[in-house]
Structure 1
Amino acid sequence: MRPTPKVRLDRIDILRAIAMLWMTAFHFCFDLTYYGFTRQDFYDDPFWTWQRTCIVSLFLFTAGLSQAVAVEQGQDWSRFWRRWAQVAGGALLVSLGSWLMFPNTFIYFGILHGIAAMLVVVRLTAGWGGWLWPLGALAISMKWVAPLVIGALPSLAFLNQPGWNALGFISQLPVTEDYAPVLPWLGVMWWGLAAGRWLLRKRPQWLGAGDAPAVGPKRALVVLGRWSLSYYLLHQPVMIGLLTAWVWWRG
């Protein structure tokens, strides 16, 4: 049994919505620290760094699931590029907004930039079948392999520089507010793609149905998941605006 063409499956949207809500809570805590209401180390404390890893992983895994559904439903390249342009445009807006707030550490290759790059690779490799699982593992392993290789071959240290470090084959993290390079994160999206293609063949019901309930929490999550890009672009400006207003009011 295959899904009806061009139908969104609600459990993928729910997973995406969970990632969005988790990300919102994470960013709100970050904003509280930025404004001096709390003191947290978001760059080195494992409590926060592991949360970021889980949030990004959930985002990219669901992106892979979505691509599996799109391919299965026969999405053509013109439709793909329209959606890709929205993601890439959002990435540019994130860079601009972060440059205004953090000119020295602005986001030049964050999660939306990474998704835009990886979507193209994932779409081109969607037919690779079972190979996606070991290739995904190989991509993820580059997080640990790359520092060893660059340490042994110092001539490759140029890969740490902005531009080159979008690939993710690095030995030192850049100083930027968000960073989601192709490696190792492509591996997570590949796993999402592989899992989605397997589920569509063997357990399509696990991905849910195309019609969400008219009301209730599940409906709210589905709607949030379907408007995730808009929500992603707006949630931080709204929270920062409210906190700025609060600081001014307390003045």
Structure 2
Amino acid sequence: MQNRNITLDAIRTLAIVLMVVFHFAYDLRFFGWVDWNVPNGKGWREFRYVILTLFFVSVGASLVLGNYRKFSLKMFLLRLFSIAFWAAVISLFTYYFFNANWIFFGVLHFIAVASVLCVPLIRKPILSLLLGFVAVTLFNIGLVSSKWPFNLISLSLPHSPNDYVAIFPWIGVVLFGIAIGHVLKSGFDPFAKWNIPNKLTLLGRHSLAVYILHQPIFFVLFGTIYWLSSSV
């Protein structure tokens, strides 16, 4: 079993903590307790971009660290199936409860697609870096829409879906992560010398479980408080 890269675990932990804070603020607004414009208000939108950047860099780097020595198609497909399964659960749940804004392509959907698209490049850091710049540039100069390819599909998709993650430019960030992963696999791990306790990176090592569970927990907790306060 290969040693974990503490720096990557720390980045992923930071991403998951910031995401929980972001969704906590979103839920406070959802229940009407604050008037913050989450997620599209000034500052909140940029906060989300920081979180997504940390996550997707981690996705690319993890593809490298988990597969560069020996690529196991079975393990890759099992991981992919797990992500795709929970993405489908989130879509079904939000379609039922938030039909006008249901999540048809959120973070987990994107990670599943990006993993398939990027895994052929895990041993090609320079090409990944170049393609990453191409993806970001195509988006920034307006040659590729953030709605692509869904703007080409005649489906009744919501105009303002919750948690939407555009393939462009975010696929470029995953490709940057692959290049960073090659730096990390060479032994670059600056956080290792800090002797960070395992407990502080626990969330990052179990980020999928935290991602799946934290919102249901928040909704049960906040929903109970809202119901109790409304019935008084």
Runs of 5+ unmatched residues, structure 2: none
Cα offset, 1:45, TM superposition: 1.6
RMSD of aligned alpha carbons: 2.6
Where 1:204 maps in the other structure, the secondary structure is coil
In the alignment, does 2:143 pair up with 1:143? no
Identity of aligned residues (%): 27
1:64–1:192 contact (8 Å) kept in structure 2? yes
2:20 & 2:201 partners in 1: Cα distance?
16
The structure 1 segments of at least 4 consecutive aligned residues displaced by more than 4 Å after TM superposition are 157-160, 162-165
2:12 & 2:153 partners in 1: Cα distance?
29
1:107 & 1:246 partners in 2: Cα distance?
25
Which of 9, 18, 37 is equivalent to 1:41? 37
Cα offset, 1:237, TM superposition: 0.5
Q: Tell me: CA distance 1:158–1:222, structure 2 relative to 1, closer, same or farther (3 Å).
A: closer
* TM norm structure 1: 0.81
Q: Tell me: CA distance 1:45–1:158, structure 2 relative to 1, closer, same or farther (3 Å).
A: closer
Runs of 5+ unmatched residues, structure 1: 151-156, 166-172
2:85 & 2:144 partners in 1: Cα distance?
34
1:158 & 1:71 partners in 2: Cα distance?
29
Which of 161, 185, 194 is equivalent to 2:151? 161
Cα offset, 1:14, TM superposition: 1.9
2:128 & 2:55 partners in 1: Cα distance?
18
Name the residue aligned to 1:68. Answer: 64
Which of 165, 168, 177 is equivalent to 1:192? 177
1:12–1:208 contact (8 Å) kept in structure 2? no
2:22 & 2:148 partners in 1: Cα distance?
32
Superposed CA offset, 1:49-94 (max 9, x none): 0011110110000111111101233231111111111111111111
In the alignment, does 2:231 pair up with 1:227? no
* TM norm structure 2: 0.88
In the alignment, does 2:232 pair up with 1:248? no
